[in-house]
């Protein structure tokens, strides 16, 4: 298991644009962030240290939740596709909570506890992040409160139960507990919610309670850094086999993609390797393929600092696709820079073709993937089929960010032919509405 996390900030091809204070539009002062986040996380967010030591207590907790996670070769899938490509995947679904989110949840809860914080408040889309933070809170002795996008709250009732089992409070978002929530409920009493709205509710909640802090499950530098345990492990594990040619991950805010890819990106930035990186998003939330690179809020209620990133606009209505963890308007600023420099290439798919790929995978490898992770599978299958056409022996490595055993409603809807594909109706960022 790695002893350090990898921080890409000092290696980026250009410096990150600073986050802006939403009130003054000036670069935000770290003091302001300290009211929202635990202090050590604010420090890590801006750190120029390339390798940050993982505290021993966190490494012990990583072992408890199943790290290092296994790396598999998908030999049955290769046979089914009849491809000369070799397909490997890192399986983050093997962790206790079933996704990669626990990697940063444990770190965030650890630093909060050390600082004497009593409660962590957060948002969740599909529920994986909320579940991970709930378990981290239980293991470290912190209260956890979760605002869960209403579409997922209804589609995935067992995710809520799981969070309750770990001792957390869970509210559907938009809720009438916050001013932001009330505003969206007034617009539409059955508003499906989304990550952007749930983030605003969580922050508003934190600002009312001095002993609470906010936790974010993706997008920010420190979150992506904690996730690099995935790629650092995968690098060691791949050494026993071969060098990958292509590295693939699905993208909501960018954390599981970055977690697997950034340790390999470092070698490309250093001129030591020539990996290809493919980031996969849903066509219903196409921040990479249809968004623009500009300053925008991280949430729908405009409470977060403004970040320079690929965005659809914080007012973008994200259709209720089953991959709830990918229903986000923005993108991690560091990943945005790598896209701008052509180091990472984006691709977008519709949900029905993604579920089709998920079934192919489940029926050959046995693992039922999360609908989010199935986006990466779809891209891996497409590449493997291209390799077959060209007769190329490509080595593909993708991140299987989570299992889908609590996403069976989505599978049921797909099998019954009830799932629809969504084209964005309107992308506010393209109309200058940021
Ligand atoms: C949250 C989640 C995602 C999307 O978030 P990223 O920060 O982009 O990784 C993808 N897969 C799973 C299983 C998730 O839980």
pLDDT single digits (tens) 149-192:
998 898 888 999 999 999 999 999 999 999 999 999 999 999 99
Mean pLDDT of 13-42: 94
180 CA to centre of ligand 1 in angstroms: 25
Domain assignment present for 61: no
Atom of ligand 1 nearest to the CA of 254: 8
253 lines ligand 1 (CB under 6 A): yes
Over the stretch 355-372, which tens digit does the pLDDT of each residue have? Answer: 999 999 999 999 999 999
Cα dihedral 180→335→357→397 (10° resolution): -140
Domain assignment present for 315: yes
Smallest CA separation from ligand 1 atom 10, residue: 372
Mean pLDDT of 8-22: 96
Domain end (from 197, 221, 245)? 221
324 CA to centre of ligand 1 in angstroms: 9
- Alpha-carbon gap, residue 410 to 392, rounded angstroms: 35
| pLDDT of 176 | 96
Contact (Cβ atoms closer than 8 angstroms) between residue 124 and residue 146: yes
Q: Are residues 274 and 378 in the same domain?
A: yes
Q: Are residues 299 and 422 in the same domain?
A: yes
| pLDDT of 313 | 95
Mean pLDDT of 126-148: 97
Which of 360, 397, 393 shows the shortest CA–CA distance to 380?
A: 397
Q: Say whether pLDDT at 196 is over 90.
A: no
| pLDDT of 318 | 87
Percent of the chain's residues with pLDDT above 90? 90
| pLDDT of 195 | 86
Domain assignment present for 253: yes
374 lines ligand 1 (CB under 6 A): no
Mean pLDDT of 123-143: 96
Tracing tokens 């067992």 back to the chain, one arrives at: 158
Mean pLDDT of 381-404: 98
| pLDDT of 434 | 72
101 lines ligand 1 (CB under 6 A): yes
| pLDDT of 429 | 85
Q: Are residues 77 and 160 in the same domain?
A: no
Three-state SS sequence of the chain: CCCEEECCHHHCCCCCCCCECCCCCCECCHHHHHCCCCHHHHHHHHCCCCEEECCHHHHHHHHHCCCCCCEEECHHHHHHHCCCCEEEEEEHHHCCCCECCHHHHHHHHHHHHHCCCCEEEEEECCCHHHHHHHHHHHHHCCEEEEEEEHHHHHHCHHHHHHHHHCCCEEEEECCCCCHHHHHHHHHCCCCCCCHHHHHHHHHHHHHCCCCEEECCCCCCHHHHHHHCHHHHHHHHHHHCCCCCCEEEEECCCCHHHHHHHHHHHHHHHCCCCCCEEEEEEECCCCHHHHCEEEEEECCCCCCCCEEEEEECCCCCCCCCCCCHHHCCCCCCHHHHHHHHCCCEEEEEECHHHHHHHHHHHHHHHCCCECHHHHHHHHHHHHHHHHHHHHCCCCEEEEEECEECCCCHHHHHHHHCCCCCCCCCCCCHHHHCCC
Lowest mean pLDDT segment, chosen from 225-234, 235-244, 319-328: 319-328
255 lines ligand 1 (CB under 6 A): yes
Smallest CA separation from ligand 1 atom 14, residue: 325
Residue 51 vs residue 303, higher pLDDT: 51
389 CA to centre of ligand 1 in angstroms: 31
372 lines ligand 1 (CB under 6 A): yes
Domain assignment present for 62: no
| pLDDT of 179 | 96
Q: Are residues 241 and 383 in the same domain?
A: yes
Lowest mean pLDDT segment, chosen from 23-27, 60-64, 318-322, 428-432: 428-432
Q: Are residues 257 and 148 in the same domain?
A: no
Q: Are residues 130 and 92 in the same domain?
A: no
Q: Are residues 19 and 150 in the same domain?
A: yes
| pLDDT of 126 | 85
Atom of ligand 1 nearest to the CA of 255: 7
| CATH code for position 47 | 3.40.50.1100
26 CA to centre of ligand 1 in angstroms: 31
Contact (Cβ atoms closer than 8 angstroms) between residue 411 and residue 357: no
328 CA to centre of ligand 1 in angstroms: 11
| pLDDT of 186 | 96
326, 328, 349, 404: residue to mutate for ligand 1 pocket, most atoms within 8 A of CB: 326
Sign of the alpha-carbon dihedral angle for 196, 201, 207, 212: negative
Atom of ligand 1 nearest to the CA of 370: 13
Smallest CA separation from ligand 1 atom 7, residue: 255
| pLDDT of 226 | 98
256 lines ligand 1 (CB under 6 A): yes
| pLDDT of 317 | 87
Percent of the chain's residues with pLDDT above 70? 100
Mean pLDDT of 42-46: 96
Domain end (from 188, 221, 254)? 221
| pLDDT of 430 | 87
Q: Are residues 284 and 405 in the same domain?
A: yes
89, 128, 228, 318: residue to mutate for ligand 1 pocket, most atoms within 8 A of CB: 128
Smallest CA separation from ligand 1 atom 2, residue: 325
Q: Are residues 31 and 137 in the same domain?
A: yes
152 lines ligand 1 (CB under 6 A): no
Contact (Cβ atoms closer than 8 angstroms) between residue 408 and residue 98: no
98 lines ligand 1 (CB under 6 A): no
Domain assignment present for 63: no
Q: Are residues 256 and 122 in the same domain?
A: no
Smallest CA separation from ligand 1 atom 15, residue: 128
Q: Are residues 258 and 172 in the same domain?
A: no
Lowest mean pLDDT segment, chosen from 137-146, 277-286, 300-309, 388-397: 300-309
227, 402, 404, 410: residue to mutate for ligand 1 pocket, most atoms within 8 A of CB: 402
- Cα–Cα–Cα angle for 315, 317, 323, rounded to 5 degrees: 125
325 lines ligand 1 (CB under 6 A): yes
Q: Say whether pLDDT at 433 is over 80.
A: no
| pLDDT of 268 | 98
Mean pLDDT of 297-326: 92
| pLDDT of 125 | 86
Q: Are residues 170 and 281 in the same domain?
A: no
Domain that holds residue 12: 4-55+100-221
159 lines ligand 1 (CB under 6 A): no
Share the mean pLDDT of the chain. Answer: 96
Mean pLDDT of 276-299: 96
Question: Rounded to whole angstroms, what are the CA distances from 108 to 75, 183, 286?
Answer: 37, 30, 28
- Alpha-carbon gap, residue 306 to 231, rounded angstroms: 29
401 CA to centre of ligand 1 in angstroms: 7
The structure tokens listed for 15 are 């410096």
Domain count, the chain: 2
Contact (Cβ atoms closer than 8 angstroms) between residue 233 and residue 1: yes
Which of 289, 250, 292, 217 shows the shortest CA–CA distance to 89?
A: 250
326 lines ligand 1 (CB under 6 A): yes
Q: Say whether pLDDT at 133 is over 90.
A: yes
Domain end (from 221, 239, 270)? 221
């Amino acid at each position: 298991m790695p002893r350090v996390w990898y921080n890409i900030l000092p290696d980026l091809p250009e410096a990150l644009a600073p986050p802006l204070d939403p009130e003054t539009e000036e670069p935000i002062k770290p003091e302001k962030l300290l009211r929202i986040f635990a202090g050590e996380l604010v420090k890590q967010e801006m750190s120029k240290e390339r390798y940050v030591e993982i505290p021993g207590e966190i490494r012990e907790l990583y072992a408890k939740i199943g790290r290092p996670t296994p790396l598999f070769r998908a030999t049955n899938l290769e046979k089914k596709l009849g491809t000369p490509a070799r397909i490997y995947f890192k399986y983050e679904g093997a962790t206790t909570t079933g996704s990669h989110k626990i990697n940063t949840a444990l770190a965030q809860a650890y630093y909060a506890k050390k600082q004497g914080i009593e409660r962590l408040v957060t948002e969740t889309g599909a529920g994986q992040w909320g579940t991970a933070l709930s378990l981290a809170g239980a293991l470290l002795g912190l209260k956890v409160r979760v605002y869960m996008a209403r579409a997922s709250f209804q589609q995935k009732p067992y995710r809520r139960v799981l969070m309750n089992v770990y001792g957390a409070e869970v509210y559907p978002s938009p809720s009438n507990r916050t001013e932001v929530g009330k505003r969206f409920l007034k617009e539409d009493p059955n508003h499906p919610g989304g990550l952007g709205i749930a983030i605003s509710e969580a922050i508003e909640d934190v600002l009312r309670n001095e002993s609470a802090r906010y936790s974010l499950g993706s997008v920010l530098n420190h979150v992506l850094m904690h996730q690099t345990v995935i790629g650092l492990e995968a690098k060691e594990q791949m050494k026993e086999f071969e060098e990958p040619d292509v590295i693939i991950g699905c993208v909501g805010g960018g954390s599981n993609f970055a977690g697997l890819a950034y340790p390999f990106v470092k070698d490309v930035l250093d001129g030591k390797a020539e990996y290809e990186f493919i980031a996969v998003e849903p066509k219903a939330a196409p921040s990479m393929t249809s968004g623009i690179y500009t300053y925008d809020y991280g949430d729908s209620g405009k409470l977060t600092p403004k970040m320079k990133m690929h965005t659809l606009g914080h007012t973008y209505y994200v259709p209720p696709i089953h991959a709830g963890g990918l229903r986000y308007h923005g993108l991690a600023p560091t990943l945005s820079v790598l896209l701008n420099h052509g180091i990472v290439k984006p691709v977008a798919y519709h949900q029905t073709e993604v579920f089709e790929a998920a079934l192919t995978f489940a029926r050959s490898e046995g693992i039922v993937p999360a609908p989010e992770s199935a986006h990466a599978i779809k891209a891996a299958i497409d590449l493997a089929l291209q390799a077959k056409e060209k007769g190329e022996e490509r080595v593909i490595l993708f991140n299987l960010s989570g299992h889908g055993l609590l996403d069976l409603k989505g599978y049921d809807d797909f099998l019954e032919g009830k799932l629809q594909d969504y084209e964005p109706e309107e992308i506010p960022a393209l109309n200058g509405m940021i």
